[in-house]
């Protein structure tokens, strides 16, 4: 079970961060190359704070984390705020997902925002070589996500790909095969394919599920510097602004969380380097 606490008033909502990423080409690419050990949501949070404070984006760590690397946080530097999961125990009378546990005690994951991280330029000390950008492999990602790529059999020439349960198919002549792969994999991870089958044509209605899948594809394309982010961006912007001006509220906060988490899962699943977890404490 997960509970999201309301972030501090000066911390932007996930939907606001996502709209920022949609409207600022290059933001995700920069955030991913600087902060790829962190979740996409935290990458965006870190990036926005760096921009607001005029800090050069780069490796980040906690105070003790930098100490362990032989570096010291400079006097007077303010920590960046990131979101971190913590496991909590609670005993309450409310019905909950895990009440089957004995004596009514159960654990849940809460997400809290804490000011604990510093960019390398806020520190001094031993030289530090930033970790290399991990490479990403589609086959590895699909295997890790338990998604099977099957042969494309649709006869509709407009169809770019489709997703059925945990299977996806990509049209061999799709315009941007990796973008379609991200989009269809997103439908699976977002849970859409347990609701209905998906065949994506140029005429697919612009409903929220399509925007969710397309936003995941945009985040993945841009993080990995693959062609297609612009196409996704145009689609989402069209949906966000039916008339004039962008409406950040058009993406529900819950959808924004799902989008960021799904993109994160796809990116982590395909990494060729051993997984390095987000440094929490």
- Identify the residue whose tokens are 């982590």: 268
Nearer to Zn ion, 28 or 211 (CB): 211
Q: How far is the CB of 199 from Zn ion (least distance, A)?
A: 8
* H or E stretch covering 149: strand 148-149
- The helix (H) or strand (E) run that includes residue 212 is helix 208-223
Q: Which stretch binds Zn ion (CB under 5 A): 72-80, 84-92, 212-220, 244-252?
A: 212-220
* Minimum distance, C-beta of residue 200 to Zn ion, in the bound complex (Å): 4
3-state secondary structure 171-200: CCCCCCHHHHHHHHHHHHHCCHHHCCCEEE
Name the one range near Zn ion by CB under 5 A: 90-98, 199-207, 235-243, 271-279.
199-207
Nearest distance, CB of residue 256 and Zn ion, angstroms: 18
Q: Which stretch binds Zn ion (CB under 5 A): 63-71, 94-102, 130-138, 211-219?
A: 211-219
* Of positions 66, 200, 233, 265, contacts Zn ion by CB under 5 A: 200
Query: By C-beta, is 210 or 264 nearer to Zn ion?
Result: 210
Nearest approach in angstroms of CB 153 to Zn ion is 17
217 CB-contact burial (10 Å; exposed 0-12 / middle 13-18 / buried 19+): buried
CB 39 to Zn ion: min, Å: 24
DSSP letter for 122, please: G
Sheet of 198-200, strand order: 148-149, 167-170, 161-164, 198-200
CB 83 within 8 A of CB 112: yes
Q: Bin 26: left if φ > 0, else alpha if -120 < ψ < 50, else beta.
A: left
Stretch that binds Zn ion, among 36-44, 118-126, 131-139, 205-213 (CB under 5 A): 205-213
Choice from 83, 213, 220, 256 touching Zn ion (CB under 5 A):
213
Interface with Zn ion in residues 7-66 (CB under 5 A): none
The length of the chain in residues reads 281
Residue nearest to Zn ion (CB): 200
Interacting residue ranges for Zn ion, rule: CB under 5 A = 200, 210, 213
């Amino acid at each position: 079970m997960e509970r999201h606490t309301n972030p501090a008033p000066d911390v932007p909502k996930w939907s606001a961060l996502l709209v920022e990423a949609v409207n600022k080409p290059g933001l995700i690419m920069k955030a991913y190359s600087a902060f790829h050990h962190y979740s996409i949501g935290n990458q965006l949070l870190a990036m926005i704070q760096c921009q607001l404070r005029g800090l050069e984006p780069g490796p980040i760590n906690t105070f003790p984390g930098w100490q362990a690397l032989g570096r010291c946080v400079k006097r007077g530097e303010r920590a960046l705020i990131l979101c971190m999961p913590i496991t909590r125990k609670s005993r309450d009378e409310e019905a909950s997902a895990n009440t089957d546990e004995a004596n009514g005690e159960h654990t849940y994951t809460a997400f809290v925002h804490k000011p604990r991280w510093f960019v390398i330029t806020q520190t001094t000390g031993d030289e530090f070589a930033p970790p290399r950008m991990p490479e990403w492999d589609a086959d590895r990602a699909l295997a890790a996500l338990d998604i099977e790529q099957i042969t494309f059999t649709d006869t509709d020439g407009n169809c770019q790909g489709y997703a059925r349960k945990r299977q996806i198919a990509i049209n061999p002549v799709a315009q941007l095969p990796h973008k379609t792969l991200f989009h269809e994999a997103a439908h699976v991870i977002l849970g859409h394919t347990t609701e209905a089958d998906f065949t994506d044509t140029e005429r697919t209605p612009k409903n929220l599920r399509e925007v969710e899948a397309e936003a995941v594809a945009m985040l993945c394309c841009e993080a990995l510097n693959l062609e297609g982010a612009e196409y996704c961006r145009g689609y989402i912007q069209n949906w966000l602004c039916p008339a004039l001006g962008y409406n950040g509220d058009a993406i529900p906060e819950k959808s924004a969380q799902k989008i960021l988490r799904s993109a994160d899962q796809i990116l982590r699943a395909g990494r060729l380097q051993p997984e390095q977890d987000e440094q929490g404490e």
